[in-house]
Structure 1
Amino acid sequence: MAGGKMSPRQKMINLMYLVFIAMMALSMGKEVLTAFGSINEKLTKNNHSTTQKNEIAYRRLNTKAKDQPEKYQPLKQKADKIKDASNKLNVYIDSLKAKMLFDQEDKKNYEVMDRGDFLDENFFKGDKYSKTGTEFVNEINEYRTSVVSALGTEYKSLANSISNLFSTEDQTDREGVTKKWLNYHFESFPLVASLTKLTQMQVDIKNSESNVLTTMLSGQLESEVSLSNYKGIVQLDKTAYYVGEKVTGKVVLGRYDASMIPDKVTLNGRNYTNINAGQVILDLRANKLGDNDIKGKITFKENNKEVDVEFNSSYTVIPEPNEAVISADAMNVVYRGVDNPVSVSLPGVSNNNLKVTATGGNIIPNGSSYIIKAGKGTEMTINVGATLSSGKKINSSKKFRVKDIPAAQASVRNEFGLVRMPKTSVARAAIGAGLPDFVFDLQLKVTSFKVKVPGQLTVLVNGAAFNAAAKKVLARAKRGDQITIFDIEAVIKNNTSYKLKKVLPVIIEISN
């Protein structure tokens, strides 16, 4: 067909054939652009979901760091640094994407986003990086360095993974040509492809945060259950003794388990054999006035190796009581809004001969103990007065910190955080609230909450059960959707006048 002279009709047929092929190629290109746009939308939705889960994890870590600072504060400091670095890079990428789409009238008309002029003009200057291109690479390098530095050597494997994921080293293409990182990923690509790639980078940022939080908290759990981190605790029946009295009590492990029988116990430098159900039963005699030590070690076998758990405590032998003993039954602080039990005693003096008062709150007799009702301040004082049989008067006082009840957490089926359940079960579920780590077993009642189903309007519900409007939007949820229950209002059942702090949300993920 190429050789010889063609008729006008044949020339027309050939021309139409070429036009047809061009139209096919153009159609295929538009489909690819639309596919990129669809992927970008799904990645953006995934980012939103991961952000919510990360925020819940951060709030939990913050609560734990306040309640148990020695254990969780170091983890919180690392997590805060990583969160700040992640937010900084994420905001930078958002601003870059906004500039890319500034001239686009319809932000979802992906078929017209086929040119890469914007990034080519802003990222490159000749065969070098432009100021904006250099800034973009520097932002990624700074993020990678900050996260790896925050993780340190303690999380080396995770640090290496993030370092590789956000590497800006030169890349080699399929033809074996080495290119700079920015050229390899963004030069001459369609606008929608670069937009999707930037969104994927944000996905990597959010997933990295999630991996960091999961790894840190799981590592803390491993540390807690390891025998090498158990502590021996001396529990005496009382802390002061008269001369000649027996010193009675027991030594137990911090995570006591009656089935854990030690292989050997050393007490005050000698082998000790009075052991029962995993407890070292103390049976000593108090002969020496002043402070006396109780120290030693409990030996277990772990992985065919001996592990020593040390314990160290002391007791005081006194000739006569000279100070009241005040101790909280349940905690070392008192909480506003609840009845705090407290025991007040003075060795050698009966309880009915004690004069007990309080400043900064009220203290009420309750059988052999007392109930403290904290006031509005940050601390309160318990005052104790008594007269000994010798005529000696004793006046003692002790300050207690006053704290508010911590933030409660919303629940579904008594589960907190992210709860997976079938769609058919969601509408029948009741929303609850609780304080899983609080020292008191408070009964909370949910009075209202809001429901957010992806793609649907937020619905306000009064009470603890889904109303008709909520069930209507729940019916539109799809598998994999995450339904957020937030702005929960709850009260203490037996003290509705107390204003609880904000109740943390719960997320329901549709499993099928």
Structure 2
Amino acid sequence: MAGGKLSPRQKMIGMMYLVLTALLAMNVSKDILNAFVTVNDGLEKTKNNFRDKNEDQYAAFQASYSENQAKVGPFYNKAMEVKKLADEIVNYIDQIKVEIIAGVEPSIPKEKIIGKDEFGSDTILNLMNVRVKDNYIVPTNILVGSEPANPKTGKYSALELKSKLEGFRDKLITYLPAESAIANSLQETFKFGEKRNASGVVENWPSYNFYGVPTAATVTLLTKIQTDIRNAESDLVKYLYASVDAASYKFNVLESAVISPSNYIIQGDTFRAEVFLAAFDSTKNPQVFLGEEYDSTNATVTGDTIGVEVQQGKGFIKIPARAEGDFTYEGVIKYKAPSGEINNYPFNVAYKVAKPSTTISATKMNVFYLGVDNPVDISAPGVAKDQITASISNGSISKSPEGWVVKPGKVGTANVSVTAEVDGKRQNMGSMEFRVKKIPTPIAEVSGKNSGAVPKNKLAATAGIIANMENFEFDVRVVVSSYDFVYVQANGLSKTISVTGPRFDDQVKNVLRAIAPGSRVTFENIKVKMPDGELRTLSPVVIKAI
């Protein structure tokens, strides 16, 4: 140190060396250096404690990962990367310690300096067993080199260590939210900027920490860095493990739930349902909104809204059925996430409203009549009417505004078969047999009577013969096509007048006006054409004029 211009730090180190020599003479150096041994032992214990706690955390992580790889996997993989990085750099620093101790204790083989402890982990020879604790040349040459202002590079150099530590820090920060407490702590712990020494001279990180520093202090500082690494590893792994459930909702009630598209199943079909556990928090009520439409942009419902009662974590929808038809509503459940953010869960409600109805059939009256529209009401429980289709074996069947209309083709029987669309498939809903009969023969009437006495003036004012469908509920009009009018002349002989159509012609009217009270007239051979085209002859009508 006598030749050349020395830097202030080199001058200070030289002075400290002289002081150290003096202290050695006073038997003080041993106690000071042994103090580093004590500090290093404490740091080693702390480092190992972190290592053991981290292993417990990894074991818990592994157990959770085994149970649910999809959920835990992303966080578990990051934790394994943190472990790999931490182990690599801790082992790297152990190798630096080996190089330093081997340099000051050449008589000790390197394989004796590092070995496995009782737990199978690598451990470094205790500083107490290093005799040359005050040697600063070896650690300085390994970590910094001869030029403190321009530290050496390469294997085991302080610059290489700094680069690895920066990479470790930066990688861990990528797993953290920006400006989080752990990220800020990492930035502060692994800060490698220039510093002023005791003399006020600005020095780079390698020189400030390792240039001219005795072996005991250097090893202790390296152990301290290892402890910082294990501490950072612990913080990251705990954070990642907590993140697995950080976004998970907490519920206190589990209930079985069964959801089926329909509770009404037709024979031959298959009952389908989803069965699962529904979880909710009975102590925390969500907000439930229901309306005509859901606005996903603003997360609100629009149109007429319906109030939804919420109790013990459940919403209860009650909508009065005031009209029949199909109804659809849209809504949203608003629930506060563990992060405090309000999450929106849209849903929709669809249902049908039908009028109360029942089907009552008179088994002896299942009759269709030829020639008229036979109204039929067809329904299937649980199926909307617009999903029903019908067919008939005799005649035709078609929809009408009020239901269905059957027009049979001939006398006999007719089978009406019904199918319906259920869950997208056509299902046979059954069939029913009906008798097909002719319309009853009407009754001929004159002046409202089919026989008996009629005042002469009323009889003379009558327009013609009417074919009355007495007690027949169908709206059927049958018209007389022809008839014979028979009366007794003044000479005592009967005369027949044949008339076409239902009306009284002039001959009939003249006779009716001229007959004496007590005279009888007969309307016979009365022909009518039925709606099905059949010609029928009605019973004669005998009227007495009074």
TM-score normalised by length of structure 2: 0.44
Greater Rg over alpha carbons, structure: 2
TM-score normalized with structure 1 length:
0.47
